[in-house]
Amino acid sequence: MKELNQKLAIVQTKLKTKKTSYNAFGKYYFRKAEDILEAVKPFLLEQGVSVIISEEIIATDPVPTLQTTATISDGENAIHATAVVGVDLNQKGMQTAQQFGAASSYGKKYALGNLFLIDDTQDSDATNDHGNGVVNRLKEKAKPVMTKDQFEKAKEYIKAGGDIKAIESKYKINTQHLVELNKINGQKAKTENTKKVKK
């Protein structure tokens, strides 16, 4: 399992995803799940892993609710990240299939973002609520509480050069865990400065 954690940390640290879609109404660029998957593909053979996405309806009242799970696996072990998104059945100009499709797209994007620590806090797609706050509420609901296993992965991510802000944007972190992550980050920065001085 430790080997898979290291592989995931490498992908999380090196992965770069472009925002290829443009919203003419809000006048901003944003990334979609397809952009993340396209950026992940070069790492699959390189790291000997596969990535799959699954989703299921976990509730119907008060609104249909989808749980999307993104999984990275090396064939023996697997690491999962989930996102929970409600289907907005009141979106005007959309048929039911389109409403479910929109929720599914958000769910896939957030699950992949949680798995690969992609920070969307600066995305207009994440902050523009078009007057109804739906996107922000769905994004906040999709933000999971960090588990013990995820905390261990977060430590590996920081040691590999990752950013604490990216972790905070995807998980609810308790104070004790945040202090420890900051400590690791501080030690990493100190080591890097020492290397620079020696050069």
In DSSP notation, 32-63 reads -HHHHHHHHHHHHHHHT-EEEEEEEEEE-SSS
Strands 78-86 and 65-73 turn out to be antiparallel
Rg (CA), the chain: 18
Alpha helical stretches, state H, the chain: 2-14, 33-47, 96-116, 124-127, 134-142, 148-159, 164-170, 175-198
Name the residue with higher pLDDT: 176 or 45.
45
Residue 67 has pLDDT above 70, yes or no: yes
Length of the chain: 199
pLDDT digits (tens, 9 = 90+) for 108-158: 999 999 999 987 654 544 444 443 445 555 555 556 777 888 888 888 888
Q: What percent of the chain has pLDDT over 90?
A: 39
Q: What percent of the chain has pLDDT over 70?
A: 82
pLDDT digits (tens, 9 = 90+) for 35-57: 999 999 999 999 999 999 999 99
User: Residue 120: its pLDDT value, please?
Assistant: 60
Average pLDDT over residues 1-25: 88
User: Residue 178: its pLDDT value, please?
Assistant: 85
Tokens of 169: 């944007």
Tokens of 189: 């920065």
| Residues 6+ away with beta carbon under 8 Å from 103 | 64, 66, 85, 86, 87, 88, 138
User: Residue 126: its pLDDT value, please?
Assistant: 47
Name the residue with higher pLDDT: 142 or 11.
11
What's the rounded Cα separation, in Å, for the pair 163 and 5? 16
What are the residues facing 73 on neighbouring strands? Answer: 50, 78
User: Residue 4: its pLDDT value, please?
Assistant: 95
Reported confidence tier of residue 191, pLDDT bands at 50, 70, 90 = low
Query: Of 4-13, 74-83, 84-93, 186-195, which range is least confident?
Result: 186-195
Residue 170 has pLDDT above 90, yes or no: no
User: Residue 151: its pLDDT value, please?
Assistant: 87
Cα separation values, 78 from 10, 48, 60, 74, 117, Å: 15, 12, 29, 7, 17
Mean pLDDT of the chain: 82
pTM: 0.62
Rounded to 5 degrees, φ, ψ at 118 are -90, 120
